[in-house]
Amino acid sequence: MLIGYARVSTQDQNLDLQKDELIKSGCEKIFYDIASGSKSERTGLNDAIEYIREGDILVVWKMDRLGRSLKHLIEIVGELEKGKIGFKSLRENIDTTSPGGRLIFHIFGALAEFEREIIRERTNAGLSAARARGKKGGRPKAMDDKKVLMARSLFSDKKNSIKDICKTLNVSKPTLYRYLKVKDFEIVYDD
């Protein structure tokens, strides 16, 4: 059985083109979402995956309608394959139920993995170059020594609530507690 899935990003867009193509290709049931591709929670897609059974084929008008990214698309199709469910994209003419379609799809997977490795290499090279220049990466500290001393002073005055101290220093409770550990009123710095 061919099961269709269609998605548009906003209410202003129209699903008709995708639905028409899915019906023309022989889809007996169509699920759809009106949601950005970047959103991980798509009820129509979840419903389609729950509905589809071994031997069925999930059909989309275009591959970018299914996955948020190439990596996400490959993960979804990989899960479908585990359940012995095929995948077909009408515009790209990819059908994982045929040897040629599986080959093309696996080439896409290899390219996505290659892209991730290149990004990882560039990131590591950039971090190494920055360290060599004496730069330290990461998020700046929420509290410097001066703020920690102020926090200690405010904390020692029992009239100040933790909430007020946090508001004054513009930090969260966990951040305050991470920087100030109180043992017999001695502050231990926790970096």
Among 6, 47, 52, 3, smallest CA distance to 28 is for 3
Burial group, residue 152, by CB count within 10 angstroms (0-12, 13-18, 19+): middle
Strands 94-95 and 86-89: antiparallel
Does residue 156 carry a catalytic annotation? no
Residue 13 three-state SS: coil
Cα dist from 95 to 58, 98, 122, 171, 189, whole Å = 10, 6, 34, 53, 59
Among 10, 45, 5, smallest CA distance to 27 is for 5
Which residue of the set 9, 25, 40, 172 is catalytic? Answer: 9
Catalytic residues: 9
